Amino acid sequence: MPTDPTPGAVAGKAAEKVRFAGVTKRFGDHTVLDGLDLAVAPGERVTLIGPSGSGKTTILRLLMTLERVTDGVIHLDGEPFSHMPSGRGGALVPADERHLAPRRRRIGMVFQQFNLFPHMSVLANVMEAPRHVLGLGADEAAARARDLLGLVGLDDKEDAHPTRLSGGQQQRVAIARALAMRPDLLLLDEVTSALDPELVAEVLDVLRDVAAGTDITMLCVTHEMGFAREVSDRILMFDRGRVLESGPSADLLDAPEHERTRAFLRSIG
Protein backbone atom coordinates (compact mmCIF):
# COMPACT_ATOMS: atom_id res chain seq x y z
CA MET A 1 0.00 0.00 0.00
CA PRO A 2 1.49 3.38 -0.94
CA THR A 3 2.38 5.63 1.95
CA ASP A 4 2.68 8.67 -0.30
CA PRO A 5 -0.35 10.70 0.73
CA THR A 6 -0.56 12.60 -2.56
CA PRO A 7 -3.70 11.74 -4.50
CA GLY A 8 -2.73 10.77 -8.01
CA ALA A 9 -5.57 11.95 -10.19
CA VAL A 10 -5.11 15.46 -11.49
CA ALA A 11 -2.37 17.97 -12.20
CA GLY A 12 -2.17 21.75 -11.88
CA LYS A 13 -2.83 24.32 -9.25
CA ALA A 14 -6.44 23.51 -8.48
CA ALA A 15 -5.55 19.85 -8.14
CA GLU A 16 -5.00 20.27 -4.44
CA LYS A 17 -7.48 21.62 -2.00
CA VAL A 18 -5.11 21.28 0.91
CA ARG A 19 -1.41 20.63 1.14
CA PHE A 20 0.68 20.38 4.26
CA ALA A 21 4.30 20.77 3.18
CA GLY A 22 6.78 19.80 5.85
CA VAL A 23 4.51 21.04 8.61
CA THR A 24 5.87 20.84 12.10
CA LYS A 25 3.87 21.87 15.13
CA ARG A 26 5.39 22.05 18.56
CA PHE A 27 3.88 22.99 21.85
CA GLY A 28 6.90 23.94 23.94
CA ASP A 29 9.31 21.07 23.43
CA HIS A 30 6.54 18.63 22.55
CA THR A 31 6.56 17.93 18.80
CA VAL A 32 2.98 17.11 17.82
CA LEU A 33 3.40 17.16 14.03
CA ASP A 34 6.77 16.28 12.66
CA GLY A 35 7.41 17.51 9.11
CA LEU A 36 4.00 16.39 7.91
CA ASP A 37 3.40 16.13 4.15
CA LEU A 38 -0.22 15.65 3.23
CA ALA A 39 -2.32 16.51 0.21
CA VAL A 40 -6.06 16.39 -0.25
CA ALA A 41 -7.73 16.74 -3.65
CA PRO A 42 -10.83 18.88 -4.19
CA GLY A 43 -13.93 16.93 -3.30
CA GLU A 44 -11.95 14.20 -1.63
CA ARG A 45 -13.17 12.72 1.65
CA VAL A 46 -10.32 11.82 3.94
CA THR A 47 -10.55 10.25 7.37
CA LEU A 48 -7.75 10.65 9.90
CA ILE A 49 -7.33 7.86 12.41
CA GLY A 50 -4.74 7.06 15.01
CA PRO A 51 -4.15 6.94 18.73
CA SER A 52 -5.11 9.80 20.98
CA GLY A 53 -2.39 12.44 20.93
CA SER A 54 -1.12 11.58 17.44
CA GLY A 55 -1.90 15.07 16.13
CA LYS A 56 -5.19 14.63 14.25
CA THR A 57 -7.08 17.45 15.91
CA THR A 58 -4.05 19.70 15.61
CA ILE A 59 -4.20 19.28 11.82
CA LEU A 60 -7.80 20.49 11.77
CA ARG A 61 -7.04 23.33 14.19
CA LEU A 62 -4.12 24.47 12.02
CA LEU A 63 -6.44 24.54 9.02
CA MET A 64 -8.92 26.63 10.99
CA THR A 65 -5.99 28.90 11.94
CA LEU A 66 -6.81 28.22 15.57
CA GLU A 67 -3.14 27.28 15.81
CA ARG A 68 -0.12 28.43 13.85
CA VAL A 69 2.49 26.17 12.34
CA THR A 70 5.94 26.07 13.92
CA ASP A 71 7.56 25.24 10.60
CA GLY A 72 6.53 24.34 7.06
CA VAL A 73 3.62 25.71 5.04
CA ILE A 74 -0.04 24.86 4.64
CA HIS A 75 -1.45 25.52 1.18
CA LEU A 76 -5.12 26.00 0.48
CA ASP A 77 -6.21 25.89 -3.17
CA GLY A 78 -2.56 26.03 -4.17
CA GLU A 79 -1.81 29.21 -2.20
CA PRO A 80 0.14 29.46 1.04
CA PHE A 81 -2.45 29.73 3.75
CA SER A 82 -0.63 29.56 7.03
CA HIS A 83 2.20 31.73 5.70
CA MET A 84 2.43 34.29 2.92
CA PRO A 85 5.39 35.21 0.70
CA SER A 86 7.05 38.27 2.20
CA GLY A 87 8.36 39.47 -1.13
CA ARG A 88 11.87 39.43 0.31
CA GLY A 89 13.66 36.63 -1.43
CA GLY A 90 10.56 34.49 -1.35
CA ALA A 91 10.68 34.12 2.41
CA LEU A 92 7.41 33.15 4.04
CA VAL A 93 5.91 35.07 6.91
CA PRO A 94 2.74 34.29 8.86
CA ALA A 95 -0.33 35.40 6.93
CA ASP A 96 -2.09 38.39 8.41
CA GLU A 97 -5.77 38.52 9.19
CA ARG A 98 -6.70 40.34 5.98
CA HIS A 99 -5.41 37.45 3.92
CA LEU A 100 -6.73 34.73 6.16
CA ALA A 101 -10.25 35.88 6.86
CA PRO A 102 -11.85 35.47 3.42
CA ARG A 103 -10.32 32.06 2.94
CA ARG A 104 -11.07 30.85 6.44
CA ARG A 105 -14.73 31.62 5.75
CA ARG A 106 -14.77 28.84 3.19
CA ILE A 107 -13.78 26.32 5.85
CA GLY A 108 -16.48 24.86 8.07
CA MET A 109 -15.72 22.98 11.26
CA VAL A 110 -17.87 20.84 13.48
CA PHE A 111 -16.47 19.96 16.87
CA GLN A 112 -17.02 17.17 19.36
CA GLN A 113 -18.77 19.67 21.62
CA PHE A 114 -21.46 21.39 19.64
CA ASN A 115 -20.57 24.94 20.73
CA LEU A 116 -23.96 26.36 19.83
CA PHE A 117 -24.95 29.77 21.16
CA PRO A 118 -27.17 28.72 24.08
CA HIS A 119 -29.10 31.99 24.31
CA MET A 120 -30.17 31.92 20.64
CA SER A 121 -32.83 29.90 18.88
CA VAL A 122 -31.83 27.15 16.50
CA LEU A 123 -32.68 29.36 13.53
CA ALA A 124 -30.65 32.27 14.91
CA ASN A 125 -27.68 29.98 15.48
CA VAL A 126 -27.67 28.96 11.83
CA MET A 127 -28.28 32.54 10.60
CA GLU A 128 -25.59 34.15 12.74
CA ALA A 129 -22.49 33.80 10.56
CA PRO A 130 -24.18 34.42 7.21
CA ARG A 131 -25.73 37.56 8.69
CA HIS A 132 -22.71 38.94 10.47
CA VAL A 133 -19.76 37.55 8.55
CA LEU A 134 -21.18 37.48 5.03
CA GLY A 135 -23.54 40.40 5.54
CA LEU A 136 -26.61 38.60 4.21
CA GLY A 137 -29.98 40.24 4.80
CA ALA A 138 -32.24 38.72 7.43
CA ASP A 139 -34.64 37.19 4.91
CA GLU A 140 -31.93 35.60 2.83
CA ALA A 141 -30.08 34.28 5.88
CA ALA A 142 -33.33 32.87 7.30
CA ALA A 143 -34.20 31.18 4.00
CA ARG A 144 -30.75 29.64 3.81
CA ALA A 145 -30.97 28.51 7.43
CA ARG A 146 -34.41 26.95 6.94
CA ASP A 147 -33.18 25.02 3.91
CA LEU A 148 -30.35 23.61 5.96
CA LEU A 149 -32.54 22.79 8.94
CA GLY A 150 -34.63 20.82 6.47
CA LEU A 151 -31.53 19.01 5.28
CA VAL A 152 -30.61 17.97 8.82
CA GLY A 153 -34.22 17.06 9.63
CA LEU A 154 -34.91 19.83 12.13
CA ASP A 155 -37.33 22.10 10.32
CA ASP A 156 -39.75 21.81 13.22
CA LYS A 157 -37.17 23.02 15.76
CA GLU A 158 -36.22 26.42 14.44
CA ASP A 159 -37.63 28.27 17.45
CA ALA A 160 -36.22 25.88 20.03
CA HIS A 161 -33.23 26.77 22.15
CA PRO A 162 -30.29 24.39 21.92
CA THR A 163 -30.53 23.39 25.57
CA ARG A 164 -33.95 21.85 24.87
CA LEU A 165 -32.54 19.58 22.17
CA SER A 166 -30.89 16.19 22.41
CA GLY A 167 -27.16 15.97 21.75
CA GLY A 168 -27.82 14.47 18.33
CA GLN A 169 -30.15 17.31 17.44
CA GLN A 170 -27.65 19.87 18.70
CA GLN A 171 -24.95 18.34 16.58
CA ARG A 172 -27.24 18.43 13.54
CA VAL A 173 -27.77 22.14 14.18
CA ALA A 174 -23.99 22.55 14.37
CA ILE A 175 -23.68 20.84 10.98
CA ALA A 176 -26.34 23.14 9.51
CA ARG A 177 -24.52 26.11 11.01
CA ALA A 178 -21.23 25.07 9.42
CA LEU A 179 -22.91 24.52 6.04
CA ALA A 180 -24.64 27.91 6.19
CA MET A 181 -21.33 29.51 5.22
CA ARG A 182 -21.30 27.35 2.06
CA PRO A 183 -17.87 25.95 2.88
CA ASP A 184 -15.84 24.13 0.29
CA LEU A 185 -13.85 22.40 3.01
CA LEU A 186 -15.56 20.78 5.98
CA LEU A 187 -13.58 19.66 9.02
CA LEU A 188 -15.23 17.16 11.33
CA ASP A 189 -13.54 16.54 14.65
CA GLU A 190 -14.95 13.47 16.41
CA VAL A 191 -18.43 14.84 15.94
CA THR A 192 -20.15 11.81 17.44
CA SER A 193 -17.77 11.17 20.34
CA ALA A 194 -19.77 13.16 22.89
CA LEU A 195 -23.07 11.54 21.95
CA ASP A 196 -24.96 8.74 23.61
CA PRO A 197 -24.66 5.66 21.37
CA GLU A 198 -28.29 5.78 20.27
CA LEU A 199 -27.81 9.31 18.91
CA VAL A 200 -24.74 8.59 16.79
CA ALA A 201 -26.61 7.19 13.80
CA GLU A 202 -28.78 10.26 13.19
CA VAL A 203 -25.71 12.48 12.98
CA LEU A 204 -23.82 10.10 10.71
CA ASP A 205 -26.90 9.82 8.48
CA VAL A 206 -26.92 13.59 8.04
CA LEU A 207 -23.21 13.58 7.19
CA ARG A 208 -23.76 10.78 4.68
CA ASP A 209 -26.38 12.96 3.01
CA VAL A 210 -24.01 15.92 2.99
CA ALA A 211 -21.27 13.79 1.47
CA ALA A 212 -23.60 12.32 -1.15
CA GLY A 213 -25.28 15.60 -2.04
CA THR A 214 -22.31 17.95 -2.27
CA ASP A 215 -18.76 18.05 -3.56
CA ILE A 216 -17.40 19.59 -0.36
CA THR A 217 -13.92 18.40 0.51
CA MET A 218 -14.13 16.66 3.89
CA LEU A 219 -11.47 15.97 6.47
CA CYS A 220 -12.80 13.87 9.24
CA VAL A 221 -11.39 12.61 12.54
CA THR A 222 -13.54 9.74 13.75
CA HIS A 223 -13.56 6.37 15.42
CA GLU A 224 -16.63 5.34 13.43
CA MET A 225 -14.96 3.00 10.98
CA GLY A 226 -18.20 1.92 9.28
CA PHE A 227 -18.86 5.54 8.44
CA ALA A 228 -15.26 6.07 7.34
CA ARG A 229 -15.40 3.06 5.08
CA GLU A 230 -18.62 4.19 3.48
CA VAL A 231 -17.98 7.91 3.11
CA SER A 232 -14.25 8.44 2.82
CA ASP A 233 -12.09 7.89 -0.22
CA ARG A 234 -8.97 7.51 1.82
CA ILE A 235 -7.92 6.84 5.38
CA LEU A 236 -4.70 8.12 6.88
CA MET A 237 -3.33 6.37 9.93
CA PHE A 238 -1.36 8.75 12.16
CA ASP A 239 1.26 7.84 14.61
CA ARG A 240 3.31 10.33 16.58
CA GLY A 241 2.72 13.25 14.25
CA ARG A 242 3.35 11.40 11.01
CA VAL A 243 1.33 9.43 8.50
CA LEU A 244 2.16 5.82 9.27
CA GLU A 245 0.15 4.51 6.32
CA SER A 246 -2.60 5.63 4.00
CA GLY A 247 -4.79 4.06 1.37
CA PRO A 248 -8.28 3.65 -0.02
CA SER A 249 -10.59 3.16 2.94
CA ALA A 250 -11.51 -0.46 2.38
CA ASP A 251 -7.89 -1.45 1.69
CA LEU A 252 -6.58 0.16 4.82
CA LEU A 253 -9.34 -1.24 7.00
CA ASP A 254 -9.26 -4.75 5.53
CA ALA A 255 -5.54 -5.15 5.01
CA PRO A 256 -3.52 -2.70 7.09
CA GLU A 257 0.21 -3.01 6.53
CA HIS A 258 1.48 -2.02 9.92
CA GLU A 259 1.02 -3.88 13.15
CA ARG A 260 0.45 -0.55 14.84
CA THR A 261 -2.52 0.10 12.55
CA ARG A 262 -3.89 -3.38 13.19
CA ALA A 263 -3.57 -2.86 16.93
CA PHE A 264 -5.27 0.51 16.71
CA LEU A 265 -8.17 -0.89 14.67
CA ARG A 266 -8.55 -3.74 17.15
CA SER A 267 -8.60 -1.27 20.03
CA ILE A 268 -11.50 0.70 18.62
CA GLY A 269 -13.31 -2.26 17.07
Report the interface residues with ligand ADP, using CB under 6 A.
27, 32, 50, 52-58
- Indicate the residue among 32 and 41 with the shorter CB distance to ligand ADP: 32
Q: Closest approach of Cβ 52 to ligand ADP, in Å?
A: 4
- Indicate the residue among 59 and 179 with the shorter CB distance to ligand ADP: 59
Q: Closest approach of Cβ 151 to ligand ADP, in Å?
A: 28
- Indicate the residue among 37 and 77 with the shorter CB distance to ligand ADP: 37
- Indicate the residue among 63 and 126 with the shorter CB distance to ligand ADP: 63
Residue type, 131: R
* Contacts of 164 by beta carbon, 8 Å cutoff, 6+ apart: none
CA atoms within a 13 Å half-sphere pointing along the CA-CB vector of 93: 7
3-state SS, residue 130: helix
Could you write out the DSSP letters of every residue in 39-64? EE-TT-EEEEE-STTSSHHHHHHHHT
Q: Closest approach of Cβ 189 to ligand ADP, in Å?
A: 8
Nearest to 176 by CA among 218, 133, 210, 204: 210
- Indicate the residue among 32 and 181 with the shorter CB distance to ligand ADP: 32
CA atoms within a 13 Å half-sphere pointing along the CA-CB vector of 157: 23
Report how far apart, in Å, the C-alpha atoms of 175 and of each of 43, 111, 130, 188, 197 are: 18, 9, 14, 9, 18
